[in-house]
């Protein structure tokens, strides 16, 4: 089993099975371009630095990839009807503990940076599910977003959005 | 493996020259960190060092991710999320397109105007009054079907609906003019302006067209853009009703419309000649239009059917059942490149 080492932004090393990394478009491109798959290349001696992903987030990404090992990898833009996507139970349980916090958002940003399409789609869907049926002030409160609107602006927005109440 | 050996393994010769030079210079000036330099060539760099990075908040997510999240919500939830903060509001207004299954507008006589937008199935449908904020709603909107029924004898539908749907993109426009009004055509023209209609289908119904409409409808049709399909329907009212479509759909208009319909053309009753129909028949061989339906006088239909050369042809002709209008016997003609669909259809 070929292992490739990923190095997080806080210098933690994560040896990962080569097969798992096929889920990440960014790392896969890198591996192909750097010929790390060549028999002559000592892939273990060439750790891949990921300067945009912290260790705790990378650990979660790897955990997700391990569970989804062998899943078909999406190619190109997502043409599915985004409203119809359902987050499977395992993924829902996986995201839930960190939801409403910075860690889930960092996981989403990492999925985007590493180009892991399935993780990105499910992660965004899990976030969007938390907004369903909530008002702007409720979302602000749950996600800790500061209110930047003046009372006058807020009233104008409320009036404009009356149809959606 | 040494760094020198890894140099060979990295196949620098396969990289573009400037890239190879960049890597070689990185190697010369920073040999110990060569591997890191090479990876950074392929990987996007961190915007800030980990120590400097702040906690990510929902409103601070990258724009493309937020647009993706908005896209996963129905319009009602999109609107509520946008009311959360200025950044989300701005992204919703400028980057997110609303998608409807259908936008249905029914305009009645006394300014009773209702728009119903069906989004992601009937559960999310919303019905609302048309005002300034609604206008903003349609600024970045796409719908499968735009369905409009106009029952008004003034120019208000044109004045209000034209700007309202100015940038609304649709796959299919179904419009029913239940009264005769001079602004019906300008409204249609505005709904079609500045759009790529190549893949769009049109169903236009004149339920109570009057004689004064003939000229403007004909002028409108001979300016028709290239569309996927066009279906014109005419309803005649009362015992003394007149078939206005026969005055609109002449040989010239029919031939022009065949050239503008990429797939199907259905026009109702026409005042066509055998010669005109032959031009249409021949014209179909040179266009992608695969179906034309027109109802003409029965004797014309019969003569045309006999005139058409039978063997070795791409287009087949079928005659429909006999009808009558204003005591004149009429018969529908179908010219099609897909005859298998009409094998059991002929009434002949």
Domains of chain A and any CATH numbers: 3-132 (3.30.710.10)
pLDDT tier, B131 (very low <50, low <70, confident <90, very high otherwise): low
Who among B64, B77, B133 is closest to A132 (CB)? B77
B43-92 tens-digit pLDDT? 544 443 433 445 678 988 999 999 999 988 888 888 899 999 999 999 98
In contact, A139 and A145? CB cutoff 8 Å: yes
**DSSP per-residue string spanning B7-68:** HHHTTGGGS-HHHHHHHHHHHHH-GGGHHHHHHHHHSPPPSS-TTTPPPP-GGGS-HHHHHH
Is A40 in Cβ contact with B73 (below 8 Å)? no
How far apart are the C-alpha atoms of A7 and A101, rounded to whole Å?
24
Give the residue on B whose Cα is nearest the Cα of A161.
B79
Question: How many CB atoms are closer than 10 A to CB A24?
Answer: 25
User: What mean pLDDT comes out for the span B329-341?
Assistant: 85
Range from A65-74, B35-44, B93-102, B107-116 carrying the lowest mean pLDDT = B35-44
Q: Do A49 and B43 touch (CB under 8 A)?
A: yes
Q: Which domains does chain B have, with CATH numbers?
A: 54-96 (no CATH), 98-295 (3.80.10)
Highest mean pLDDT among A64-78, B222-236, B239-253: B222-236
Task: Calculate mean pLDDT across residues B22-44.
Answer: 42
Strand partners, B99: B142
pLDDT score at B242? 59
CB contact under 8 A, A145 and B64: no
- How many interchain CB pairs under 8 A, A with B? 145
Q: For the whole model, what pTM was predicted?
A: 0.66
Concatenated DSSP letters for B269-291?
E-B--HHHHHHHHHHHHTSS--E
What pLDDT score does A23 carry? 95
End-to-end CA distance of chain A: 56
Identify the residue whose tokens are 């096929």.
A22
DSSP string, B87-131: HHHHHHHHTPPEEEEEEEEEE-TTS-EEEEEE-TTGGG-EEE--S
B50 CB neighbours in chain A (<8 A) are: 9-10, 51, 54
> Quick one: closest CA in B to A34, which residue?
B10
Among chain A residues, the shortest Cα distance to B46 is held by A52
Nearest residue of chain B to residue A114 (CA atoms): B43
| ipTM for the whole complex | 0.91
Q: Which of B62, B65, B84 sits opposite A140 (nearest CB)?
A: B84
Best of A55, A115, A136 to mutate (most B CBs within 10 Å, chain B): A136
pLDDT band at B229 (very low <50, low <70, confident <90, very high): very high
B292 has a pLDDT exceeding 90: yes
Cβ contact B73–A133 (<8 Å): no
The more confidently predicted of residues B291 and A164 is B291
Q: Are B332 and B323 in contact (CB under 8 A)?
A: yes
Tell me: the pLDDT tens digits for A109-134?
A: 999 999 999 999 999 999 999 999 89
What band does A56 get if pLDDT is binned at 50, 70 and 90? Answer: very high
pLDDT at B238: 52
Query: Range with the lowest mean pLDDT among A63-67, B75-79, B193-197?
Result: B75-79
């Amino acid at each position: 089993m070929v292992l490739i080492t990923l190095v997080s932004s806080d210098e933690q090393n994560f040896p990962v099975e080569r097969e798992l990394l096929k889920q990440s478009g960014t790392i896969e491109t890198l591996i192909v371009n750097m010929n790390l798959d060549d028999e002559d290349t000592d892939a273990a001696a060439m750790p891949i630095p990921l300067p945009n992903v912290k260790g705790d987030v990378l650990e979660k990404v790897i955990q997700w990839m391990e569970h989804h090992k062998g899943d078909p990898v999406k190619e190109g833009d997502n043409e599915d009807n985004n409203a119809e996507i359902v987050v499977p139970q395992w993924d829902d349980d996986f995201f839930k503990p960190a939801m409403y916090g910075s860690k889930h958002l960092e996981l989403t940003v990492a999925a985007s940076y590493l180009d892991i399409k399935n993780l990105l789609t499910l992660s965004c869907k899990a976030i969007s599910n938390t907004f369903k049926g909530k008002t702007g002030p409720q979302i602000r409160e749950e996600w800790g977003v500061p209110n930047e609107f003046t009372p006058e602006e807020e009233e104008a927005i409320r009036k404009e959005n009356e149809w959606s109440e | 493996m040494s760094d020198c050996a890894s140099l060979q393994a990295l196949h620098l010769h396969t990289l573009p020259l400037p890239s190879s030079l960049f890597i070689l210079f990185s190697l010369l000036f920073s040999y110990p960190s060569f591997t890191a330099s090479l990876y950074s060539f392929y990987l996007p760099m961190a915007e800030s060092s980990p120590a400097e990075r702040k906690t990510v908040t929902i409103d601070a997510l990258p724009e493309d991710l937020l647009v993706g999240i908005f896209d996963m919500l129905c319009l009602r939830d999109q609107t509520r999320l946008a009311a959360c903060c200025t950044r989300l509001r701005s992204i919703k207004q400028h980057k997110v397109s609303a998608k409807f299954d259908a936008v249905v507008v029914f305009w009645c006589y006394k300014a009773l105007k209702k728009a119903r937008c069906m989004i992601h199935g009937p559960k999310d449908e919303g019905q609302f009054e048309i005002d300034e904020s609604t206008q903003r709603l349609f600024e970045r909107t796409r719908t499968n079907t735009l369905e409009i029924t106009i029952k008004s004898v003034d120019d208000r539908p044109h004045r209000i609906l034209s700007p309202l749907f100015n940038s609304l993109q649709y796959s299919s426009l179904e419009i029913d003019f239940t009264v005769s009004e001079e602004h019906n055509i300008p409204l249609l023209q505005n709904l079609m302006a500045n759009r790529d209609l190549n893949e769009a289908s049109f169903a236009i119904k004149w339920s109570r067209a009057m004689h004064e409409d003939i000229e403007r409808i004909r002028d409108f049709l001979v300016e028709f853009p290239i569309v996927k399909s066009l279906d014109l329907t005419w309803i005649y009212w009362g015992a003394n009703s007149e078939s206005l479509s026969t005055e609109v759909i002449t040989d010239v208009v029919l031939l022009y419309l065949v050239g503008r319909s990429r797939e199907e053309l259905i026009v109702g009753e026409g005042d066509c000649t055998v010669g005109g129909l032959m031009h249409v028949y021949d014209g179909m061989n040179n266009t992608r239009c695969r179906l034309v339906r027109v109802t003409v006088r029965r004797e014309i239909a019969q003569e045309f059917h006999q005139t058409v050369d039978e063997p070795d042809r791409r287009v087949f002709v079928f005659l429909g059942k006999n009808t009558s209008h204003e005591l004149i016997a009429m018969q529908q003609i179908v010219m099609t490149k897909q005859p298998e669909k009409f094998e059991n259809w002929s009434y002949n």
